[in-house]
Structures are given as structure tokens and as C-alpha cells.
Amino acid sequence: MEIKEKLRKLQEYLSRLDNALIAFSGGVDSTFLAKVSYDVLGNRVLAVTATSPMHPKSELKEAVELAKKIGLPHLVVEFNDILEIEEFKKNPLNRCYVCKSNLFSRFKAIAEEKGFKYILEGTNADDVSDFRPGRRALKELGILSPLLECGIKKEEIRILSKEMGLPTWSKPSYACLASRIPYGEEITYDKLSMVEKAEEDLRDLGFSGFRVRYHGDIARIELPKEQMKRIFEEGIREEVVKRIKDAGFKYVALDLEGYRTGSLNEPHVKVVKNV
């Protein structure tokens, strides 16, 4: 199916909905979904962004600015008590399920309160190839995933986003800060803050599309392979080390395999398929 046909299919899908509350992170997928939904449904949509210790302040700021740019009715809700949920704090293999089950239950309560019949989220057709326990929570709660149902892939979302003038078309993929902490390692505010500061500092130094994985005293940096040489340039290496140590780490390591999605799933690959 051609990309334009997929877009028409998405528009037709959305036109059949009375109204919709959209889980809006300000990322590539949710921004595209929110824009198309707004174009089709107008003010019968409400974009909702959750703020929590797992989401950098910079991401919230971008989401607010994007909503204004698109003209979206927008609501920011607090999800700060996620770290009080013991099942989540323990960081089990189904951590994402626990998180999404709690988060989207709150979105459902907001939708019911404000009279929205449907809740949409931005899973795309490529996401099903990775370990995504949160998908089960979405199915249990009856959350709709229009991009997935219409077969729209990540690269197609980027192409269409660029044509629509959305600044997110080239934005690197993002996952919450909890995904930087290995399964079984307790999630705490301090650990999330260390990762957030380290990643913000790397962005300030001009790096993009990377991850800083938490391993106790060690920060393991995953960079896109084309950016690895730059980290060894004169003055850059020293500044990277200084900033990441200032974030609270004692040691700084560069992962020679480079950035890849879900690298912390790798030690559990045989297990996670059954979770």
C-alpha cells in the first residue's frame, strides 16, 4: 500500500470516531497522530501529556510548544506518584505493562469525565517487532492504535510529518528514562535524575539519537556509530567525562556496538518473548 493511501486510510479511520483523547508525548508518532486527528476532528480532540520523573522537563516543554503550534486543545496531567507503585519500582520485565496500565487507566478516567469516547495512542507498525509488554495493557483497556491498525511505519510517519511541516519529522526516537535502567535494578528518582542530566548534557554538546544506560557507578553511552569519532575529538572527550561525572556517575563507558533500540532487553531475549 502506498504512503498516501495509508494516510487516506488513517483519515477515514479517524473520521468514524465521534471524538478522541490522544496520549501526546510530543514525539514523532504521537505528534503526527495528533496533527492528523486535529485536521479530521477539529476541537473534538484533546491531547493529554503526562508529566513524571521518567520524562525529562525538556520533553514536556516541547510537547506544550508543539500543541500550541498545531492548535491542539491540550492538557498536562501529573503522574509523579508512579515511583510509589512498588510493582513498578522493582523494575520487573513487565515494567512497561505496569506503567501503561496505571497511566492509561488515568487517561480513561479523564476521558470519561470530559466526555471523550475514544482514547488513541501512537504505536506504529514497526513497534510490534520489539519487546513491548505495554501493548497488553493497551488492549486490556481498549485503547486504539490507529497508526498500527493502518499499517503506517516509522519512516512513513517521518516522510508525512515533513510534508505537513511538523518539526518532529527528524526528531530521534525516544523512550522514557526508566528504559535506561536494567531490569531488576530498583527505579528511584535519583537514578532517573542522573540519567536525565547526563543525557541533557550530551545534547548540549551536540550529540543526538543516543542513550545513557545506568549501571550503578557506570554510565554506558550508546551513540549512533557515525557520532563515535566525535566523542574522541580534542576537548570533547574531557567535557563528556566531566559532565557525566557531575551528573553523579563515577565512570564513563562508550558502548562500541553503538545505539540500538532496547539494548537492555538483550540479556533477557529468551525470557521476554514469554512475558
Residues classed as catalytic? 176
Instruction: Determine the Cα–Cα distance for residues 206 and 190; give it in Å rounded to an integer.
Output: 25
The residue ranges of DSSP E strands in the chain, in sequence order, are 20-23, 45-51, 74-78, 118-120, 211-215, 218-222, 251-254
Instruction: Determine the Cα–Cα distance for residues 249 and 194; give it in Å rounded to an integer.
Output: 8
Cell of 117: 469516547
Task: Please state, as a whole number, how many other Cβ atoms lie within 10 Å of the Cβ of residue 36.
Answer: 23
Closest CA to 119 of 128, 111, 127, 109: 111
